[in-house]
Amino acid sequence: MSAFELTIGTSPVILGLPHTGTFVPDDIAEHLNATGQQLTDTDWHIHELYAGLLPGASTIRATFHRYVIDANRDPEDISLYPGQNTTSLVPLTDFDGNPLWKPGHEPDAAEIARRRALFHAPYHAAFAAEIERIKTAHGLAIVFDCHSIRSLIPFLFAGRLPDFNIGTVDGKSCAPAIEAAALGVAQAAAGYTSVLNGRFKGGWTTRHYGRPGDNIHAIQLELAQRTHLTSEAAPFALDPEKAGALRAHLARMLRTIETAATTLISRSPS
């Protein structure tokens, strides 16, 4: 199986989907314990939630599960949030701090390097190539990285997570107009809560690709799973009514970002 699925579009917006894949090769799955085999920390149904929302947008989706290797972590395994609980390039625990691997079966450095070459590197090579293609075609590219997470995870953060968690690495990963476009839609969404650069400021994808000075903008949206699931517990079923209401806001957010991109292009020196 390929490490990624790529849909080539015509919009300046690229949707990144690093955590919706559930593929775990047999030679890796056999080392997971019962907790790991549940794949609990998947971004459940996010690729379905975003499907068709912005016609013409490119999408790149990792097919492998984050327990194989996390496509949104630094390949050198440098922590995104030093001093805070988080998961690593190849997670040893789930989001609740529970071990994922059978005792003595945790991946060693050689195994991590193998997975990096097989999964992480091909995904990001394709991502980088698509960014360059879009930038060449439009003069800029906008990465919109799509995520979800349970709203209550004491191991990772205190309290209850807002519904819309927008990350721009404290304004460093995109132009102010892109940030404002996303935040404005989130704040106007009746019945939903939102935050900018709260607990989730953007993962490695946002930090690595977001270079506004080079006309590459990146923004992450972490959705609380209560916004679209029937329950934030197994079997993590999609709630059609919740999803339908949420999709309207997400579509508006993506269209508003695309419009902001058009404005940035028109203001760029010829």
Measured on CA atoms in the order 218, 224, 230, 233, is the torsion positive or negative? positive
Buried residues in 177-189 as b, exposed as e (16+ CB within 10 A): bbbebbbebbeeb
Please count the structural domains in the chain: 1
Instruction: Give the per-residue pLDDT at 230.
Output: 97
Q: What is the largest CA-CA distance in the chain?
A: 60
* Per-residue pLDDT, 151: 97
- Give yes or no for a contact between 17 and 61, defined as CB atoms under 8 angstroms apart: yes
84 vs 79, 80, 88, 153, CA distance in Å?
Answer: 9, 9, 12, 13
Stated as kind and residue range, the H or E segment containing 185 is helix 176-188
Q: What is the mean pLDDT of each run of 10 residues along the chain (270 residues)?
A: 95 98 98 98 98 97 98 90 83 97 97 98 98 96 98 94 98 97 98 97 97 97 98 96 98 97 69
- State residue 86's pLDDT score: 80
26 φ/ψ angles, rounded to the nearest 5 degrees: -55, -35
First to last CA, the chain: 43
Query: Are the C-beta atoms of residues 39 and 91 closer than 8 Å to each other?
Result: no
pLDDT of residue 268: 60
| pLDDT for position 175 | 97
Residue 84 maps to which CATH number?
A: 3.40.630.40
Which residue range forms the structural domain that includes residue 208?
4-267
Q: What is the pTM of this model?
A: 0.95
- Residue 270: its pLDDT value, please? 46
